[in-house]
Structure 1
Amino acid sequence: MSRRDVVVTGIGLITPAGAGRDRTWSGVCAGTGTAAASPELKGLTVDFCGTAPEPGPPTAAMRRKTWRLDRFTRLALAAAREAVADARLDPATWPGPRVGVVLGSALGGINTTLAQLTRLREHGAEYVSPSLHPMSLVNMAAGEAALEFGALGPSLATVTACASGADALATARSWLTGGLCDIVLAGGAEAANTPLTVTGFERLGVLSRRRDDPPSASRPFDADRDGFVIAEGAAVLVLERPEHARARGAPPRAVLAGCGSTTDAHHPTAPHPGGAGARRALAQALRDADVTPKEVDHVNAHGTATALNDAVEARVIAACLPHGPSVTAAKGALGHALGAAGAVEAALTALTVQHALVPPTANLRRIDPSVPLDLVRGAPRPQHIEVAISNSFAFGGHNTVLVFRKP
C-alpha cells in the first residue's frame, strides 16, 4: 500500500433501486431503469423522477427526532448507519476525536425551505418553524451524522453541484493521509425532486421528456438520449488508513488510491468542448494513484444522458485511455442524484472492483456511433479489475476523478 492509499471498509446506499447496498447493487446489475411518475410533479412537462424509499429510523428515540430532519439528512443517516455497520465499527467505543464526517450535497434541505416558504406566504411569519435553518442548511447532514455517531473530528459539507459526493471522498482521503483522522464517514445525499428543481432543469433543456416510458428515459451514451432523469439518494463510505483497518481486522472492499480535481473556467453549465478540465483531472488522479493510463481496467462514467456531456466525456475517455477499458454509467438505472451522484457511483465502482463484475448501462439500446467506448450493456460483465476510475463532472465547471484499486 502507498502512504497515500486509504481503504473502503464500509458502504451504505439508499437509491431509487432500494434501501441498502445489496438492493442497489442488484438493481444496477439488473440493468433496468427505476424512474416513475411522481404525484409531486403532476402537471409539469416532466412529471417523473427516481424516488428512494423513505428510510425508517432504527430506534424509537431516533423516530422521535425524525420530525426535525430534512429528507436529504434522513437519507444520509440511513446510508451512514449501514456503512458503519458494514465496517463493523461501534461508535460507542471508537475514538471520537479521530473520526471525521464529510458529506456532499448540491441543494441540501430544499424540501424544508420550500415548505416553510409556503407557510410564510399562506399563513404568516408566526407559522414558520424555528427549525427552518437547522433543517435546511447544506452542512446539516454532516452535522447530524456527527451528532448521531459521536464523531468529534472535523466535519463539513462539500458543495460542488454534481461533483459534491466525489469531492467529499477526496476531502476525506486528504484528512486520513494527512493524519487528521483515523476514520472518516464520507459521501453525499440529495433529495431535490421538487417541482421547482425539476422545472429549473427542464427550462435549461437538460431533462428527458419521455413521459410515456419513464423507466427507459435515462439513456447514457445512447444515440437517442434526450436528457437526464432527476433522482434522489445517498451513499456513505467508511474510509480508513490501511494500518488502522488491519489493526482491527477489518477487510477492505477496495482501495481509494488517487484523486484529481480541476475546474473548466469555461461556462456555468456546459463542459469545455474539448474536455480540457476533465482530461487534466483524470491525469492528476492517475498520477496521484501512481498508475499509468493503460493500467485502467474500468471506468464508471458520469454519463448523464445529455447530448453534450456524454459526447465530451466519451471523447475524454477515448483520448486518455485509448486501450479501451470497459465503461458503464449507473444513471441509466438510477437517474441523476445530483450532489449524491458522485458518492453513489464511487460506491458502485468499489463494489465493481470487489465483485469483479461490471453492471450494464441501463437503456443503452443503440450506441451513439460517435462514442468510441467499450460500453457494457444488456447484462453484467464478469471482469477482473485491478484499477477502476469514477468520473464526476458538474455545473460550475467542476471535474473530479477518483481511482480505486483492488486491495
Structure 2
Amino acid sequence: MLKSKEIYIQAMSASCCAGVSKEEIYESLLLSKSGIKKHKDFLIDGSLSAIGKIDSPHSFENIMLEQVEDVLKSSELESFHNTFLLVGSSVGGMAWSEEQFIGSGGSCIDIDLNRQSIYSISHTLNKKYGFKDSITFSTACTSSSNAIVFAKELLESGACEEVLVVGADSISLTTVNGFNALGVLSDECATPFDRDRTGMNVAEGVGVILLGSMPSDIKLVGVGCSSDAHNITHPHPEGNGAKSAMQNALDNANLDASSIDYINAHGTGTTANDRAEGRAIISLFPNRPLVGSTKSITGHTLGACGTIELIISAMVLKNQTVPQNFNLKNQELEELNLPIENISIEIKFALSNAFAFGGNNVSIIIQKVSDES
C-alpha cells in the first residue's frame, strides 16, 4: 500500500483583536492581554457589547490582503498562480453589504454582488493573485477548519502541489445581533469552562495557512469530522459529535488518545458548548492532556477560528509553551486539565477543535517535527 503524502505548514499568518501578527497574538496569550473591548455601535438596542475588533487604521479587506502577502513572502513561492485557494467564512461580504445598504439609506442600486456574497473573499483575493482555482466553505464556525480538511484531501490525492487556506470573518451587525438574539453574548470578556461564565464574544480575524509537501517543523497529521445534527444551535449535551470528530482525527493520524499533549478547545464560553466539549474530552482522553481555550483573548472569530486557532496551536508546538486559561477562576469540570499559568513542557502533538451550529464538528491534529525526524 502506498504511503500517504506527508503534508506540512509551509507558512502562516494571522491577525485578530489580540494582535496584528501571529507573534503578537501568541504573546498576548502568554501575557493574558485580551483584545476584547466594549463597544456601543453594534447592538440595535444601543447597549454595550464586548467584542473583538482588530485595532488597525486599515480596512478589514486590507488587513486580509496583508496577511496573504505575508504568507507569500514567507514561502518559497514566486506567485500563487499554481496554488489552490480555499476560503472559510461564515458571513463573507456581510459587513460590506451592511455598509453599502445603510450608507445609501436602504438602497440596493449599484451594489456589487461580487462583494456581498459568501464568495466575496475569494473574489477579492483572485483579483489580486490569480489563483489556480478556488472554493469557499461556509459552515458557520467550522468554515476554515473544513477548508483545511479539504486541503489535506487535495494534497494527498496529488490534485495540486500547494493549497492556501484563508479563514476570514469581519464584524457585522447581523452577526452580533444574531448571537444576541440567541442570548449567548457576554457584556464582559468570556471565561470558557468557568462555572460563572456569562457567554461569548463575537470577534473578527484572519488566519492564513499555506500547506504543501515541503518538509517544515509543523506537520498536519490528522483530520476528523462528524455531523451529529442534535439541534440547530445546541450540541449534544454529552458531546457525542465532538467526541466522534476527535476520534476520527486520531484514527486518521493513526494515533492513540494518549499521544495528544495539548488540546486547543473550541471553548466559546457558552454553557452548552463548554459542557459538551469538556465531557467529550474527559471521556476520550483519560491521560488528561493540557486543555485551553484562547477565545477569552482573541474572541470568537467565527468562520476564521479554525485557521487562527490552528496557527496558535502551531505556535504552541514551536515554542513548547501552553498559554494559561485567562481569567479562569471557578473551573466547572474538575477532570479537565486547564492550566491557569503558562506551562513550558515537551509537546509533540496538538489537537485543535472547531464546532458549529447543526452539529458540524471538525478536529485537526498537528505534530512538532524534531530535528532527528
- How far apart, CA to CA, are the structure 1 residues paired with 2:61 and 2:110? 17
2:360 aligned with 1:398? yes
Report the equivalent of 1:223. Answer: 195
- How far apart, CA to CA, are the structure 1 residues paired with 2:104 and 2:128? 31
Report the equivalent of 1:357. Answer: 321
2:143 aligned with 1:169? no
2:347 aligned with 1:385? yes
- Structure 1 pair 6/396, CA: closer, same or farther in 2 (3 Å)? same
* 3-state SS of 1:9 partner: strand
Task: Give the superposition deviation at 1:150.
Answer: 3.0
- How far apart, CA to CA, are the structure 2 residues paired with 1:81 and 1:263? 34
Greater mean alpha carbon deviation, residues 44-53 or residues 314-323: 44-53
* 3-state SS of 1:17 partner: coil
- How far apart, CA to CA, are the structure 2 residues paired with 1:382 and 1:302? 22
Is the 1:258–1:289 contact (alpha carbons within 8 Å) kept by the matching residues of 2?
yes
- Structure 1 pair 223/283, CA: closer, same or farther in 2 (3 Å)? same
Task: Give the superposition deviation at 1:73.
Answer: 4.0
TM-score (norm 1): 0.85
Structure holding more helix per residue: 1
- Structure 1 pair 88/28, CA: closer, same or farther in 2 (3 Å)? farther
Q: Give per-residue Cα distances to partners, 1:246-277, cap 9 Å, x unaligned.
A: 5xxxxx24111111111111110000122111
The gaps in structure 1 that reach 5 residues or longer are 57-70, 211-216, 247-251
Is the 1:19–1:55 contact (alpha carbons within 8 Å) kept by the matching residues of 2?
no
Is the 1:160–1:396 contact (alpha carbons within 8 Å) kept by the matching residues of 2?
no
2:177 aligned with 1:199? yes
TM-score (norm 2): 0.93
* 3-state SS of 2:87 partner: strand
Report the equivalent of 2:247. Answer: 283
- How far apart, CA to CA, are the structure 2 residues paired with 1:54 and 1:140? 21
- How far apart, CA to CA, are the structure 2 residues paired with 1:75 and 1:322? 41
- How far apart, CA to CA, are the structure 1 residues paired with 2:334 and 2:300? 20
Q: CA RMSD in A?
A: 2.0
Q: Give per-residue Cα distances to partners, 1:51-74, cap 9 Å, x unaligned.
A: 113475xxxxxxxxxxxxxx5544
The gaps in structure 2 that reach 5 residues or longer are none
- Structure 1 pair 240/38, CA: closer, same or farther in 2 (3 Å)? same
2:196 aligned with 1:208? no
2:106 aligned with 1:114? no
- How far apart, CA to CA, are the structure 1 residues paired with 2:292 and 2:126? 33
Report the equivalent of 1:372. Answer: 335
Greater mean alpha carbon deviation, residues 31-40 or residues 7-16: 31-40
Is the 1:253–1:351 contact (alpha carbons within 8 Å) kept by the matching residues of 2?
no
Report the equivalent of 2:123. Answer: 143
Instruction: Give matches, 1:5-404, under 5 Å.
Output: 5-41=6-42, 44-54=46-56, 56=58, 73-91=61-79, 96-97=81-82, 99-119=83-103, 121-122=105-106, 124-125=107-108, 128-131=109-112, 133-152=113-132, 154-194=133-173, 196-210=174-188, 217-241=189-213, 245-246=214-215, 252-368=216-332, 370-378=333-341, 380-404=342-366
Q: Give per-residue Cα distances to partners, 1:338-394, cap 9 Å, x unaligned.
A: 1111111011111111211111221212212x341111223x211211111000000
